[in-house]
Amino acid sequence: MTDATVTRPRTRRDAQFDRIRDREAKLAGTTQRKGRFLSKFLNNRLAVIGFAIFAVICLMSLFAPLIAQHDPMSPNLRAIAKPPSAEHWFGTDKTGRDIFARVLYGGRVSILVGLGSALLSALIGVIIGVYSGYVGGWLDWIAMRISEIFMSFPQIILVLLLVAILGQSLVNLIVIFTLTGWGGIYRMARARMLSIREEEYVQALRSFGLGPARIAYKHMLPNALGPIMVNITLSTAAFILQEAGLSFLGLGVPLSIPTWGNILNAAQDLRVLEQNWWIWLPVGATISLFVLSVNFIGDGLRDATDPSQQG
């Protein structure tokens, strides 16, 4: 009689152990990827400096009531166009309002417009681009034609046209930026899906009978988040600059609401440019620093999420 190897039948406890082992392996891989991403980002000095500047400006704007000593909307006829001093750190404008307080409170609105518009346009572009890029067909053709219609016009001209039609308000400006900004990130998300859908794991998921929405959003989208995050940072900087430009021309947020662009609106006067530099220089420097910090963060995210640069 020959000895035969007897295989013990698998029990429910064995299946539980297998699931626990698979979960731990997945968690270890996720932790390793997060650690590698954080290490790459922290090794980029400009990205770290940009994040620090971004955090300082955002926190100061968020806690403006605790930092600013003056009301940004209250005029003071006894302190009209005063240069920087111990009482008014950035000086006062032509109606005696404290510019430091207006810069802090204006940062709330300007950052809301820039970041909110970028996130909303990214949400629309990703939802449409990921699904249509994976499925293709008539849905992809229609989405592409609609995006081409929006992108065929110069964005600033389209923004001016919509502002003239819808009117000036904070909500209208966010809606306008969202409608005019989703096309670029849609095309980026679509391009990523066209390349990722040919991967072997996507073919395997399709063979298991998973639905297209689940494959696109749950399994393919995480592999395309790197360029999308970079695009969001660039869109945020671009929308902040557009808001400042439109408000400077008097076509953005109503002048009654303090924003960085509305503060710059006073610099249309040549006398202010020559004699009252403190009215426009601090807010101009703040806009430049914030936009540079966002661009530095975008560069850091690009390098940290680029597979070709992973060690």
Cross-strand bridge partners of residue 92 = 98
pLDDT for the residue numbered 202: 81
Domains and CATH numbers, the chain: 42-70+88-309 (1.10.3720.10)
285: amino acid identity, one letter = A
Average pLDDT, the chain: 80
- Which among 281, 265, 279, 284 has a CA at the least distance from the CA of 97? 279
- Which among 84, 79, 74, 56 has a CA at the least distance from the CA of 258? 74
CB 109 within 8 A of CB 258: yes
CA dist., res. 222 & res. 32, Å (int)? 16
> Among the residues of the chain, which ranges form H helices?
12-42, 45-62, 64-67, 99-135, 137-152, 155-166, 170-196, 200-207, 212-214, 225-248, 260-264, 270-275, 277-305
* pLDDT tens-place string over residues 201-257: 888 878 887 888 888 888 888 888 888 888 888 888 888 888 888 888 777 788 778
Mean pLDDT of 124-137: 88
Give 186 or 162, the one with higher predicted confidence: 186
Which among 59-63, 80-84, 181-185, 241-245 has the top mean pLDDT? 59-63
Give 175 or 36, the one with higher predicted confidence: 175
Neighbour-count burial for 31-43, b at 16+ CB within 10 Å, e otherwise: eeeeeeeeebbee
pLDDT band at 2 (very low <50, low <70, confident <90, very high): very low
Position 44 pLDDT exceeds 90:
no
pTM: 0.79
pLDDT for the residue numbered 78: 81
Please list, in sequence order, all residues whose beta carbon lies within 8 angstroms of the beta carbon of residue 62, skipping any fewer than 6 positions away: 108
* Least reliable range by pLDDT among 20-24, 99-103, 198-202: 20-24
Give 107 or 27, the one with higher predicted confidence: 107
95: amino acid identity, one letter = T
pLDDT for the residue numbered 19: 55
